[in-house]
Homo-oligomer: A and B are copies of this chain.
């Protein structure tokens, strides 16, 4: 069966590709994702919002002034679906939608002060858990974590992720 090649050592270094190891990885993803969303979910419930609102706010915060189409392609949902969420956020005064100056068809999205506050509350909760996990696992583990996740993404999403990643630092 396929001599991997990439690994430095022989034999034992391929143990991580057995079906059993892969299954463990799959289950780890499943259980970890629940933890990943648990804290924001609790906060969102208090505010009568859902994960969809969190995702929208996250990426608007990340790229202030982003257009609806842009957000659509990042989130990977239909405009009808996003619109429902966006409308409630705009109505509740968390998001502001400004008509484009150059292209007046476009709407540019921004978090209001109120929106920024909730986004911070959510992301602080989420970062809190991520920080503990990172601290517990250590820098090397974190690097590996990120490498595997990146390799797991669909190519288009990886591009989106890379773009965002670079914009940040």
Contact = CB atoms under 8 A, between A and B. Distances in A.
Contact of A139 (B13, B33, B153): B13
A58 B134 CA distance: 29
A35 B148 CA distance: 12
B20 A168 contact: yes
Interface size class of A (residues with CB under 8 A): 35 or more
Contacts of A24: 146, 165, 168
A145 B149 CA distance: 8
A99 interface: no
Contacts of A62: 23, 27
Contacts of A130: 22, 25-26, 152
Nearest to A145: B148
A153 B22 contact: no
Contacts of A28: 145-146, 149-150, 161
A102 interface: no
A168 B134 contact: no
Interface string A46-76: 0000000001001000100000000000001
13 contacts: A4-B135, A6-B136, A25-B145, A27-B164, A28-B149, A29-B36, A31-B160, A32-B150, A34-B154, A136-B151, A137-B151, A141-B147, A144-B144
